[in-house]
């Protein structure tokens, strides 16, 4: 356990306020600033952080500074914080890293870069506002840390210790590699979803009945399309090259499937689908971005009250349900409740469900 820090948070939206709450829970003192006075006051009420009147007052004397503003302002604010807080390690929470690091390196006093570490806490950053904040936002999440060439080991180690102390999992990763990987598994899914929804909407103009035929699978694939356009514009433009490459790889894979289908080669289509199916089943059995949780599958009959039976059984055993999904096979249906519970509550959850004659299956 490392000792308490003096934490400064710049930008008290959902993620900034959640970081403040997690820090306070861990025993740190927290000051914060937000250009929107009302947002700052809500954050202070909600979390017990100390509001301040400007960046300088906020970060002066801090040992850790978190810049939690939109991507375009991260670099300049990080540089200002490095200059104003002489002892502090400064980090940001942007969804892209190379772009942010390049901006900080361009703007900051080079000597200050020893104390800068890029960061990406991978959870919940796309909800908005201090009212939705919770220290649980950081519980068990992967928190990527990306150093600049000038960052000193001591600064990274301090950030790592703090991230672990508040309950998240620090992962060191080169900024370019981070951006390449999230382009594939976070940014590309967003683009794929938006493109599919946009296409269906265009078709709908000429075929109003098309969405009548859109079942659960279409809804799954287009859920992300409801995300914030402004936020995603910032993210995509800040990770241009990696996203273009991810789209290229995706398009060539779609083209290969198109080719096999048009050429009427069932064995190839089936092999491509079988490989993806196997990978998806392996993913289901893997820990989510949130570590420390377990997924339990519970087959349920289709009758009134069965969901109440599952949830009350767990509630009475004081097992908190982190997530619950009634999982349909592709194209609709019902039958299996997917429960996500804390890993250390999973044995108890299985036991009490068995006692109620359910047949839970815990994924590894």
The smaller minimum CB distance to a copy of itself, of residues 77 and 314, is found at: 314
- Among 1, 38, 149, 262, which residue sits at the site for a copy of itself (rule: CB under 8 A)? 262
Token pair for 130: 């201090």
The smaller minimum CB distance to a copy of itself, of residues 128 and 150, is found at: 128
Q: If binding is defined by CB under 8 A, does position 29 make contact with a copy of itself?
A: no
Q: If binding is defined by CB under 8 A, does position 302 make contact with a copy of itself?
A: yes
The smaller minimum CB distance to a copy of itself, of residues 164 and 210, is found at: 210
* Dihedral sign, Cα of residue 140, residue 135, residue 185, residue 73: negative
Q: If binding is defined by CB under 8 A, does position 229 make contact with a copy of itself?
A: yes
Q: If binding is defined by CB under 8 A, does position 199 make contact with a copy of itself?
A: yes
Which 159-198 residues touch a copy of itself, going by CB under 8 A?
A: 171, 173, 177-178, 181-182, 184-186, 188-198
> What is the rounded distance in angstroms from the CA atom of residue 271 to the CA atom of residue 264?
13
- Among 214, 344, 351, 355, which residue sits at the site for a copy of itself (rule: CB under 8 A)? 214
> What is the rounded distance in angstroms from the CA atom of residue 156 to the CA atom of residue 162?
10
Which 264-283 residues touch a copy of itself, going by CB under 8 A?
A: 264, 266, 269-277, 279-281, 283
Which among 335, 310, 336, 339 is positioned nearest to 323, based on CA atoms? 339
Total site size for a copy of itself, rule CB under 8 A: 130
Token pair for 47: 């979390």
The smaller minimum CB distance to a copy of itself, of residues 111 and 209, is found at: 209
Give the distance, in angstroms, between the CA of residue 134 and the centroid of all CA atoms in the same chain.
14
Report, in Å, the least distance between residue 110 CB and a copy of itself: 27
**Torsions phi, psi for 363 (to 5 deg):** -80, 140
- Among 27, 35, 86, 253, which residue sits at the site for a copy of itself (rule: CB under 8 A)? 253
Q: CA 1 → CA 5, 181, 244, 274, distances in Å?
A: 12, 31, 43, 47
Cα-Cα end-to-end distance for the chain? 29
The smaller minimum CB distance to a copy of itself, of residues 53 and 203, is found at: 203
Q: If binding is defined by CB under 8 A, does position 138 make contact with a copy of itself?
A: no
Report, in Å, the least distance between residue 75 CB and a copy of itself: 17
Which residue bears the tokens 């995509």?
236
Cross-strand pairs, 171: 144
Q: If binding is defined by CB under 8 A, does position 292 make contact with a copy of itself?
A: no
- Among 155, 224, 293, 296, which residue sits at the site for a copy of itself (rule: CB under 8 A)? 224
SS3 for 53?
Answer: coil
Q: If binding is defined by CB under 8 A, does position 76 make contact with a copy of itself?
A: no
Q: Looking at the chain, which runs of residues are DSSP E strands?
A: 6-10, 29-33, 50-51, 64-67, 89-92, 116-121, 142-147, 169-172, 293-299, 321-327, 336-342, 361-362
- Among 4, 35, 106, 226, which residue sits at the site for a copy of itself (rule: CB under 8 A)? 226
> What is the rounded distance in angstroms from the CA atom of residue 128 to the CA atom of residue 126?
6
Report, in Å, the least distance between residue 92 CB and a copy of itself: 16
Q: If binding is defined by CB under 8 A, does position 212 make contact with a copy of itself?
A: yes
């Amino acid at each position: 356990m490392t000792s308490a820090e003096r934490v400064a948070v710049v930008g008290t939206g959902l993620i900034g306020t959640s970081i403040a709450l997690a820090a306070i829970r861990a025993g740190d003192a927290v000051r914060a600033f937000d250009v929107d006075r009302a947002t700052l006051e809500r954050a202070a009420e909600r979390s017990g952080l100390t509001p301040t009147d400007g960046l300088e007052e906020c970060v002066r004397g801090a040992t850790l500074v978190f810049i939690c503003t939109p991507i375009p302002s991260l670099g300049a604010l990080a540089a200002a914080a490095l200059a104003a807080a002489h002892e502090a390690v400064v980090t940001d929470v942007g969804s892209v890293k190379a772009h942010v690091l390049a901006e900080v390196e361009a703007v900051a006093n080079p000597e200050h870069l020893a104390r800068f570490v890029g960061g990406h806490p991978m959870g919940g950053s796309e909800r908005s506002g201090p009212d939705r904040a919770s220290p649980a936002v950081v519980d068990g999440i992967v928190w990527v840390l990306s150093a600049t060439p000038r960052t000193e080991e001591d600064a990274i180690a301090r950030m790592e210790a703090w991230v672990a102390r508040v309950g998240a999992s620090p992962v060191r990763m080169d900024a370019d590699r981070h951006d390449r990987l999230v382009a594939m598994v976070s940014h590309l899914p967003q683009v794929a979803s938006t493109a599919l929804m946009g296409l269906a909407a265009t078709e709908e103009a000429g075929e109003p009945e098309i969405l009548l035929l859109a079942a659960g699978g279409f809804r799954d694939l287009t859920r992300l399309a409801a995300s914030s356009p402004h936020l995603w514009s910032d993210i995509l433009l800040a990770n241009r090259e990696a996203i273009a490459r991810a789209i290229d790889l995706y398009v060539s894979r779609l083209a290969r499937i198109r080719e096999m289908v048009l050429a009427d080669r069932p064995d190839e289509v089936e092999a491509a689908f079988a490989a993806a199916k196997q990978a998806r089943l392996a993913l289901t059995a893997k820990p989510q971005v949130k570590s420390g949780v377990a997924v339990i599958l519970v087959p349920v009959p289709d009758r009134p009250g069965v969901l109440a039976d599952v949830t009350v059984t767990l509630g009475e055993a004081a097992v908190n349900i982190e997530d619950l999904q009634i999982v349909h096979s592709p194209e609709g249906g019902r039958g299996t409740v997917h429960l996500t519970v804390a890993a250390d509550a999973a044995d108890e959850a299985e036991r009490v469900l068995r006692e109620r004659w359910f047949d839970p299956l815990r994924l590894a």
